[in-house]
A and B are shown apart, each in its own frame.
Chain A
Amino acid sequence: MTILVIAEHDNVSLKGSTLNTIGAAALIATMTGSDIHVLVVGHKVQAVSEAAACIAGVSKVLFADSRTPEGELAENTEATVMALQSDYTHILAPATAYGKDIAPRVAAKLDVAQISDITAVVSADTFERPIYAGNAVVTVKSHDSIKVITVRTTAFAAASEQGGCAVQEAVAWVDAGPSSRFVGRQVRQLDRPDLANARRVVSGGRGLGSPENYAKVLEPLADLLGAGMGASRAAVDAGFAPNDYQVGQTGKIVAPELYVAVGISGAIQHLAGMKDSRVVVAINKDAEAPIFSVADYGLVGDLFALVPELIDSLSKEAVH
């Protein structure tokens, strides 16, 4: 029996999400005695393939070199997966923008269900996943011969990047045709940790009042803490922060060591995205705000006074 993991990468290095997905695959592998194969699809992916070969627990890396320099399309990756000549029992991808684009396509082509965003492996065919913005957890059993799964990366420990010595094998990259063309990508230059991988997150809500305040109040705190920045849906809707800063049910799910929620009331959709953080600090003027029900430490008061005071106090400490 063999498990296939579809690797997320940027043609230079593997994304952390791939390691967590392999972590989930390893749990299934211990129950079933399966091998783990990793598929790397992209342009000039030799280095990524070599890195994948070193991951503990991986027995084979399949790499498919595309002709396009960037913007690998979900259609092509799905077609490449479908062309693999192997009997996989499980196909896993991270539940990120990348994986969510591909996994449902593969499942539909195989005529099997896709199991989204698993948070626990109960057995080889039974998994836990959150529904209703994380207000309920469902245990589902798949009756399909192949399980196509996306993995909530914060729920599984990352596989070790070292200790493996997998075989690498080139496989054919399949071009699904000209109906879709990559035009371009607008990547924001981040001088702070990416939200999804940050150890600390500073997140802002509607209480900040304006895009200027979001930046002026929160950025110094994030800089001081070496934190990634997030936002509530309300703040994103109001244009205070970019869409991919959104933490919550329909945005990013994060579980950092420290989550500082500033001016966020704590709608259930937001709590769904951050309640697995180790320590939650909430700063809000409304003592009844639901965010305090999940916060370890709360400060009730004016954020425009409290945050600068916090920055002042923290800058006297060695915070890193």
Chain B
Amino acid sequence: MNRTIPPWRKILKILVAVKRVVDANVKVSVKSDGSGVDLANVKMSMNPFDEIAIEEAVRLKEAGVATEVIAVSAGVAQCQETLRTALAIGADRAILVEWNGELQPLGVAKLLKAIVDREQPQLVILGKQAIDDDSNQTGQMLAALAGFPQATSASKIIICDGRATVSREVDGGSETLSVSLPTVVTTDLRLNEPRYVTLPNIMKAKKKPLETLSPDDLHVDVTIRLETLKVTEPPRRGAGVILPGVDSLVEKLRMEAKII
């Protein structure tokens, strides 16, 4: 049987955006001058949703669906470590857009749009949300700027015949969209369970190409639009009491909290 490979199948490049954030297990503290949170000597890691994004891209490559996985990050030079982790999971090469100032989602989306123009990926995967600024914006902004369809909070991705069928986590259940490639997908928790990175793969990752660019190279203005006036501690919720048993709990709920 003469089975020709359709053109979209020959080169399915996946671009994955990864962000360096405070490790999920760190409890951050607010600086006493109210200027921000204290990030000195705090463990930094890849944003957990981005780890899921890179894992999904690598699985698509391993399944023979994708041909190349490119990891991209924006921020300080140390983001190279985050990109090396992405390479150790299985990305083929990495791009860092180095910038020492603050970046906000709109600026990052513009940088990613410029990288998309350069690399022409058919699929861009991002985490749905970064666990530092909790914005949940960048994927949707990139989709709007690039004119790609979007499928956010994905729990399943199937690529077939130039389209992606994506199950999405929505309120009250799930929803399925069929989007044409190129497209932007953002990941939710249940899409996959990222692998543990092995030492041989960490060693291999050190030899993979990592290109560094600046926002100027991409002709992108990353000026921030939201000025931080202050960062404060949230109102504290005082600990209550440990009760001896169920009877006293029911008593408290009825008499004190007046909730039953």
Contact = CB atoms under 8 A, between A and B. Distances in A.
B146 to A, nearest CB: 10
Interface residues of B, number: 81
A174 B253 CA distance: 52
Contact of B239 (A108, A292, A317): A292
Given A108-B106, A186-B173, A310 B246 contact: yes
A188 B13 CA distance: 36
Contact of B189 (A71, A104, A236): A236
Contacts of A157: none
B227 to A, nearest CB: 5
B231 A133 contact: no
Given A108-B106, A108-B140, A139-B229, A180 B249 contact: no
Contacts of B189: 233, 236-237, 243, 246, 250
A306 B176 CA distance: 40
B138 to A, nearest CB: 8
A47 interface: no
Interface in B136-158: 136-145, 148-153, 155
A275 interface: yes
Interface string A296-309: 11111000001001
A96 to B, nearest CB: 6
Contact of A250 (B30, B49, B148, B151): B49
Contacts of A97: 152-153, 169-171
A295 B240 contact: yes
A236 B109 CA distance: 30
A137 B234 contact: yes
Interface stretch (B63-71, B81-89, B177-185): B177-185
Contacts of B131: 132-133, 249-250, 269
A84 interface: no
B245 A299 contact: yes
B106 A319 contact: no
B7 interface: no
A243 B155 CA distance: 9
A307 B233 CA distance: 34
A90 to B, nearest CB: 14
Contacts of A130: 134, 234
A262 to B, nearest CB: 12
B260 A319 contact: yes
A299 to B, nearest CB: 6
A105 B143 contact: yes
A244 B225 contact: no
Interface string A71-115: 101110010000000000000000011101111111111011111
Contact of A107 (B106, B142, B143, B259): B106
A184 interface: yes
A244 B250 contact: no
B190 A297 contact: no
Contact of A297 (B105, B155, B232, B252): B252
Nearest to A319: B260
B140 A182 contact: no
A168 interface: no
B176 A183 contact: yes
B129 A250 contact: yes
Given A136-B37, A180-B178, A187 B173 contact: yes
Given A237-B189, A244-B173, A134 B234 contact: yes
A236 B174 CA distance: 15
B53 to A, nearest CB: 14
Nearest to A237: B189
Contacts of B234: 130, 134-137, 275
B142, B174, B252 interface centre (most CB from chain A within 10 Å) = B174
B28 A136 contact: yes
Nearest to A307: B246
B22 interface: yes
B30 A136 contact: yes
B104 interface: yes
A314 interface: yes
6 contacts: A105-B140, A116-B133, A136-B28, A236-B189, A279-B259, A300-B242
| Chain A to chain B: the 7 pairs with minimum beta-carbon distance, closest first | A113-B225, A296-B240, A104-B140, A180-B149, A108-B141, A104-B137, A183-B176
Interface of B: 22, 24, 27-30, 37, 49, 104-106, 109, 128-129, 131-145, 148-153, 155, 165, 169-180, 183, 188-190, 224-234, 237, 239-243, 245-247, 249-250, 252-254, 257, 259-260
Given A117-B134, A136-B30, A182-B175, 11 more contacts: A112-B225, A137-B231, A140-B226, A141-B227, A141-B229, A142-B225, A181-B179, A184-B175, A194-B172, A250-B49, A281-B253
